[in-house]
């Protein structure tokens, strides 16, 4: 089938030619199954590309020790843990920063006991 004769012409021109060829011979549940599997492949690819993009950011030029020092001084409240959601690298460094946890636990205990 030509791209304009596929059952989804509004998306057909966006798809790579190889994907259009694969879809052209499928019907109903086959299309659903194939597109779900392909979407998962594309999702993994997109996540890998975003991770590479993040790793190329200038902040990743900082040594882990300096980044860890920044994290150790970044504790204000439990919202500070959101630093772990920036990227995998930050999460790994943050979780390995004992000073961050000392401040976090110490601050939580201090407030929990009326300090």
- Per-residue pLDDT at 55: 81
Nearest to 75 by CA among 42, 110, 49: 110
Regions in the chain scoring below 50 on pLDDT = 1-3, 110-115
| Residue 4 placed within a domain | no
Instruction: Indicate if 94 and 68 belong to the same structural domain.
Output: yes
Domain tally for the chain? 2
- Per-residue pLDDT at 33: 95
List the domain range (segments joined by +) for residue 50: 9-55
- Per-residue pLDDT at 40: 97
| pTM higher than the cut 0.75 | no
Instruction: Indicate if 51 and 66 belong to the same structural domain.
Output: no
Instruction: Indicate if 68 and 36 belong to the same structural domain.
Output: no
The alpha carbon torsion through 51, 54, 55, 56 (nearest 10 deg) reads 130
Calpha distance 43→45 (Å, rounded)? 5
Structure tokens at 10: 């509004």
Instruction: Indicate if 44 and 67 belong to the same structural domain.
Output: no
Instruction: Indicate if 71 and 49 belong to the same structural domain.
Output: no
Other beta carbons less than 10 A from residue 3's beta carbon: 16
């Amino acid at each position: 089938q030509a791209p304009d004769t596929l059952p989804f012409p509004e998306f057909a021109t966006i798809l790579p030619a190889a994907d259009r060829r694969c879809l052209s011979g499928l019907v109903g549940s086959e299309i659903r199954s194939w597109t779900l599997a392909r979407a998962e492949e594309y999702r993994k690819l997109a996540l890998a590309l975003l991770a590479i993009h993040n790793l190329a950011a200038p902040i990743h030029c900082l040594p882990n020790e300096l980044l860890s020092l920044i994290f150790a001084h970044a504790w204000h409240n439990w919202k500070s843990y959101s630093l772990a959601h920036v990227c995998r690298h930050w999460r790994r460094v943050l979780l390995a920063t004992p000073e961050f946890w000392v401040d976090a636990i110490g601050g939580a205990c201090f407030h929990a006991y009326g300090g």
